Each structure stands twice: as C-alpha cells, then as structure tokens.
Chains A and B, each alone.
Chain A
C-alpha cells in the first residue's frame, strides 16, 4: 500500500511536471504524454492491478487539472494499463527498446484517438488525428526511449523504471 501511495505520489509529480513544462515540450501540435510512459512502466514492473488503479487515480487527477470531462483520462489510462498487462501476461520475459517504443506509441495513439472523440467533432477530428494525435504518439515514444536511459537514483522512482537485463536495451516484464 505504501509502495502504491509512493507510486501515485511520483505519478502526481510527473503529472505536475507534464502540466507545467508541457508548453516547453510542445512541437507544433505534438505534446508528449509523460504520465502515460510512467504508468506503462509501472504496469510492466508491478502488474495489471497496480496499473489499473494507478491509471485510474492519476488519470482522474489529469482530468481534474486539465479541466476536461472528468473521467475520460481515468477511463482511458486505467484501461490501457490493465489490458496491456493482461495481454502481456505469460507471453515474453523481456522487451527490447524498439518494442518498448512501439508499445508506448501504440498506447498513446489509442488514447489520443479515443480522447479526441470527446473533444473534437466532424472534419476537425481528421485534422486532429493527422496533426495532433499521431505526432503526439510518436513524440511520446521518443520520450519513452529517453526514459529507459535516464539514471534514476531515488528508490521509488527507480522502482518504476523498466529493469535492464542482459544489455542496456532490454527490460524485464511483470511476472
């Protein structure tokens, strides 16, 4: 429980970081979702249940801070984390950096596509997909690559960093 609270606290810190420095990170319409990377890494490390609840609470916090429809990101993030963990259970033991990036970009794209349905309508949705949803997903995957290279020191942060095995580009999946 303590670990979960620590995880949520770290996630909140990531969320606040994302909300405050996101203007600096924005390129065109593309904006990385660092919170999603954090949640995916936590899910891979701790499993589906942790991912589900962390996704729900941190998504809810994101909804509250972004002043959007309450529950949208809570629903999306919790479901993405949960179903990814379910899909990966018992499949493979390690994941290369390339697959990790594909993994993150797919999750980000799915999240952006569905989230767009809540905020954009008509032909604007097509523009949103082309100029915001897809570039943001690619941008997020790029940040995800930097994430696994970051030398985290603090224990609660290190806990959510994907564990490197064999080489610096391999990480361990949940048991």
Chain B
C-alpha cells in the first residue's frame, strides 16, 4: 500500500502544482472557467436534452388533457348560449305575439302513425285540441294531429299529406301549399297578375280556419311558369329548420 502511495506522490505533486499554476494564471476574463463550462455543457447535452424531452412530453400530455376539458366546457357553454338565445327569442315572441300561445317542448320525432310529425310534452290537460296551429319564432311548423292527456302529436308542414292555404306577401294571390315526397314545399297553381320573384315571402292566408293568417311559411326559392302561362308553380324554402326543433308554440286561440 505504501509503495503504491509513494509511486503516486510525485504525480500528485506535479499535477497539483500545475493545476495551481493554471488557476492562478488564467486570464482575468475567466475564459478558462467559461471553456470548461462549455466542455461540461457539450458532454452533458444528451442528458440535458433527454430530461427536457421527457419534461416536454409530460407537459404536452398535461396540456392535451386540459385542452380536452376546456373543449368540452366550451361546447357546453356554446350549447347553453344557443339555448339561452333561443329561449330569449321565444320569450320575446310570446310577449309580443297577438295569439294566445302555449310553449311546449319537443320530446320526440315520429312517423309511427303514417305522418311526418313530432311529439310535444303538452296535451288536452293544458288546453290543447286537434288542428291547433303549431309555430315557432321563425314561422309555421304544422298542426296538432292527435292529443292525449299530457302529450300531443304535431303533423309537420313537410308531411306530404299536409296542405296549407298560403299566399304570396307581394301580390296577395294564393293557393294550397303542400310538401312532396322529398320534403320540399310547393305552392302550385298560383294565379297572379304580378309575376312572383325569388325571395318573396310566403304566408298563411287564413283560409280554411285552421291556421291564423299572416304566419310566415318561407320564401320563394324557384319559379316555374305552367304551360298556360298565367299560372305559376312555386318552390318554397321553409323558414323553420325542421331538423332542429326543440321548443314550439301551440296557438290555442287566434286572439288573446
């Protein structure tokens, strides 16, 4: 053991003295320290990069989770805002409407009884009866087809068996509006002295006594002159989006 120590004592002396000289004679800017720091940085780069990579990976995972949560919350807020807007419009409509109307919630869509319809959560317990008009803020939806105590079936305007007495807002001539098999609304045999134009409003005429007059049905989308020349076939774009009906109003009485 002693011989081993003796062998290395000169080396320790020389090395220690040399290191001491280097430390005392390095330039005043501390460049040696900076260079050694560079060397350590270069040598430790893979380890530092690995640590940073793992850190970024875990941070990325955490942020993804937060993003998913926030997306879900945003979607919920969006839905609530839309619902709030819709309900606000309905409330405003209910106050301003000249009709005695009752709000109802759509609980299902149905084709079970041979019609294209909806089921709402109001029945004769709330004063509903057959053939009452069903509307929204946007326009005509249909009529009450069948009533039970706490629910009712609404026959939609897009049902091919449905017919509505309608007229053009400009000109005033009218006809019977019905839906074809594809759900598109047509107003046939309109006799008019004033030629209709694309975008003209189509309203209920009130003839027939089921629907109150002047409720918006839609707008003229396409006009085809018939062979006679003085009759028109009019295609109507409905004002109500029948695929997104959640709340409707039932017109219980035409006047308050």
Interface residues of A (CB under 8 A from B): 48-49, 52-53, 56, 59-60, 63, 69-72, 74-75, 78-79, 82, 117-122, 125
Contacts and interface: CB of A to CB of B under 8 A. Distances in A.
A117 B39 contact: yes
Interface in B126-149: none
7 contacts: A52-B10, A52-B11, A53-B14, A60-B18, A74-B18, A75-B15, A78-B15
A125 to B, nearest CB: 7
B19 interface: yes
Nearest to B16: A75
A33 to B, nearest CB: 17
A49 B20 contact: no
Given A52-B11, A69-B32, A82-B11, A121 B38 contact: yes
Contacts of B21: 60, 63, 70-71, 74
Interface of B: 7, 10-11, 14-15, 17-22, 24-27, 31-32, 34-36, 38-39, 42
B34 A78 contact: no
A63 B18 CA distance: 11
Nearest to A57: B14
A75 to B, nearest CB: 4
A90 to B, nearest CB: 13
B157 to A, nearest CB: 76
B-side interface mostly: helix
A122 B38 CA distance: 7
B14 A71 contact: no
B35 A56 contact: no
Nearest to A74: B18
Nearest to A71: B21
Contacts of B38: 117, 121-122, 125
Nearest to B11: A82
B19 to A, nearest CB: 6
Contacts of B14: 52-53, 56, 74-75, 78, 82
Given A53-B10, A69-B26, A69-B27, A78 B35 contact: no
Given A52-B10, A69-B26, A70-B22, 16 more contacts: A53-B14, A60-B18, A63-B21, A70-B24, A71-B17, A72-B18, A74-B21, A75-B22, A78-B14, A82-B11, A118-B32, A118-B35, A121-B31, A122-B38, A125-B38, A125-B42
A120 B39 CA distance: 10
Q: Which of B14, B15, B21, B36 has most A Cβ within 10 Å?
A: B14
B213 to A, nearest CB: 86
A71 B10 contact: no
What 9 pairs across the A-B complex have the smallest Cβ distances?
Answer: A71-B21, A75-B18, A71-B22, A70-B25, A71-B18, A74-B18, A56-B14, A78-B14, A121-B35
A82 B14 CA distance: 10
A110 B39 CA distance: 15
Contacts of A63: 21
Contacts of B11: 52, 78-79, 82
Contacts of B19: 71, 75
Contacts of A69: 22, 25-27, 32
